[in-house]
Chain A
Amino acid sequence: MNNPGAGTVYTETVVFSPPEAYVNDVPYQLAIIQLENGRRLTGRIDGERAHIGDQVKFVEFRKDVAFFRKSV
């Protein structure tokens, strides 16, 4: 998969009631990222809580899921 690069948080939530596959991950932050390439991607935020408008950068894919981290 291609590196989606950096972007900004378009919207986000913290999930407390997970689907069966992610019962061990909660709580986790899910976000739609507005990428610099113009596309949007649903991924996870690692580390510090991010809010709408925050800049984030791509960290890595884990099991085909894009993880981002808030830019400092």
Chain B
Amino acid sequence: MRQVAVVGIGKTAFGAFPDRDLRSLAVEAGQKALENAGANGSQVEAFYLGNFAGPSFVGQNHLAPYVAAGMGITGIPATRFEAACASSGAAFFHAVSAVAAGLYDVILITGVEKMTSQPTPKVTEILAGAGDLCGEVRAGATFPALFAMIARRHMYQYGTTREQMAAVAVKNHANGAKNPLAHMRKVITMEQALNGKPISEPLTVYDCSLISDGAAAVLIAPFERASEFTDKPVRVLGIAQASDNVALDEKEDITTLRAVQISAAKAYKMAGVKPADIQFAEVHDCFTIAEIVAIEDLGFVKKGEGGPYSLAGKTCIQGELPVNTSGGLKAKGHPVGATGVGQICDVVQQIRGEADERQVKRNALGLAQNLGGSGATSVVTILGAA
């Protein structure tokens, strides 16, 4: 297998953009990634698009060639990947696999979602389509409800508290406030986080990620060709995707997401590193409890210790393991199809030393974890300096 490098990154701002359509967002991110790599569209050999629910949110189907053509790119394979909130993580995994295998040299991977054109109950219903429609969703489950039930069980088994979850929100808002591309650039207090409007008990509005529009893109190439595009290539040292049951009630222990553990173990093995070697991470905090569960399942802390670790400030930018320096899905925003590739951009930015006031000191080895649904898809990527 060939080693693969990320040679270009590009993101739109995440937010609510009533005047922008899905394609213009995706095209902007893709063009920025090409510009960042000093590349042009004619060098792209395949286009992989991550998008969860474009057809439901905006009615448009056949999205991959539609977006590629919007960039003036035709004639190459253009394919959409759907894996709920891990859609672009899955697109990235398969693109890296194809380059590693020697199938292509240069692939552009874009993630996009345009969500804010629908009212919240409709968005809630579309997102619930990532659950089991014949079971949990028919009974009235929403994604906040599924993660609320994970939170309740985590609180019951490990004594995790509302304050520990709120600490994740406070930290991610503080980071997002420093990120010029974040959806919510607003610092919040612990008191605010604890007293938000209830969404699905015990989760309040401050425990939930945002409904956003946005896109992100990366250009990848074999490491041996990276210098044609950039003097700051970032290596994909390890990457894995794993799956699990879609329905939450079919998972044995809902406080542990097996797909995350499996994909993490494979990615660590491929990279030849241990969890303790990882210096910073972007994890999938679709809800505050999801960040707590993620840092446990990724092996950074023992099961049940994610809450106390978060409340103690260990995951702040200045802490021993900075998590979600971008602001995370909580404050940066969560245009679901864009999230996985957006995380890759954020980790690459840190490794290149381009994160400005959010820059971490130990930036040589970073991890991105992208989750689909209540854990039925997980993609874990380990990136390192060249």
Contact = CB atoms under 8 A, between A and B. Distances in A.
Contacts of A12: 149, 152
B139 interface: yes
B248 interface: yes
Interface of A: 10-23, 25, 28, 30-32, 40-44, 52, 63-66
Interface stretch (B197-205, B217-225, B310-318, B320-328): B197-205
A19 B125 contact: yes
Given A16-B200, A21-B125, A42 B135 contact: yes
Given A19-B125, A30-B145, A41-B249, A11 B139 contact: no
Nearest to A22: B140
B152 A42 contact: no
29 contacts: A11-B153, A11-B156, A11-B254, A13-B149, A13-B201, A15-B142, A15-B145, A15-B200, A16-B198, A17-B120, A17-B199, A18-B121, A18-B142, A19-B121, A20-B121, A20-B124, A20-B125, A21-B125, A25-B140, A28-B140, A30-B139, A30-B140, A30-B141, A30-B145, A32-B149, A32-B254, A42-B247, A42-B248, A44-B139
Contact of B139 (A17, A40, A66): A66
Interface residues of B, number: 34
Among A17, A19, A21, A23, the most chain B Cβ lie within 10 Å of the Cβ of: A19
B138 A16 contact: no
A30 B149 contact: yes
Nearest to B152: A11
Contacts of A65: 138-140
Nearest to B156: A52
B148 interface: yes
B288 to A, nearest CB: 14
Contacts of B203: 13
Nearest to A67: B139
Contacts of A11: 149-150, 152-153, 156, 254
B140 A17 contact: no
Nearest to A33: B249
Contacts of B200: 13-17
Contacts of B128: 19
Nearest to A52: B156
